[in-house]
Structure 1
Amino acid sequence: MANAPIKVDAQTDKLITHAAHFLGTSKKDVVDDAVREYIENHRDQIQRGALEALGQLDGTAAGSVRLLAKLSPAELDDLGGVDEPK
């Protein structure tokens, strides 16, 4: 599996470094465990957001633009709309 770099601020890096040291593990393992635990603890909120986003998609380019730009149909129309691919 390829590693994907992440960036954290200096204070967070310091916390990760201390946690890894005192837990006798790697910084990578601390971050991996923390992210997995965070996602598990927020799974319901993440699922609600994903389902809400899917509910807004209607299979059109305009629907995708509205979701990504957080625009209402009227706001998108006011901006000129979206030409749908044919």
Structure 2
Amino acid sequence: MAAAASPIKVDAQTDQLISHAAHFLKRSKKEVVDIAIREYIENHRSEIQTAVSQALRQLDGSTASSVALLTGMSRDELDELGGFSKTD
């Protein structure tokens, strides 16, 4: 299955860095970005795993827990705004 291409946007300075790296490494910009992202994720894998684990511990299957996680609001803050029914 072929991977779908998804455009990403970077600022002009980052684009220039990517262009220079691609030129001097004799690679395409796409290859440079692909390699850089894969290396970054590998180097930060434990941080990513910790964040995912923390997020999963916050979810209890309710709408309220999902909204709290997505918004960064506490359950008390959500309740102040009207909250959710016990079935949500």
Normalised by the size of structure 2, how large is the TM-score?
0.92
In 1, Cα distance between equivalents of 2:6 and 2:20: 22
Aligned residue among 13, 18, 29 for 1:16: 18
In 1, Cα distance between equivalents of 2:10 and 2:74: 34
1:57 aligns with 59
Amino acid of the residue matched to residue 26 of structure 1? S
> Which moves more between the two structures, 75-84 or 62-71?
75-84
Runs of 4+ residues over 6 Å off in structure 1? none
Unmatched 5+ stretches in structure 2 = none
In 1, Cα distance between equivalents of 2:4 and 2:46: 28
Q: What CA RMSD, in Å, does the superposition of the two structures yield over aligned residues?
A: 1.0
Unmatched 5+ stretches in structure 1 = none
Task: String of CA shifts for 1:24-61, please: whole Å, max 9, x gaps.
Answer: 00000000000000000100110000000000000000
Give the % identical residues.
62
1:73 aligns with 75
Amino acid of the residue matched to residue 61 of structure 1? T
Aligned residues: 85
In 1, Cα distance between equivalents of 2:71 and 2:84: 12
Amino acid of the residue matched to residue 20 of structure 1? A
In 1, Cα distance between equivalents of 2:42 and 2:24: 24
Normalised by the size of structure 1, how large is the TM-score?
0.94
Q: How does 1:7-46 map to 2 (within 5 A)?
A: 7-46=9-48
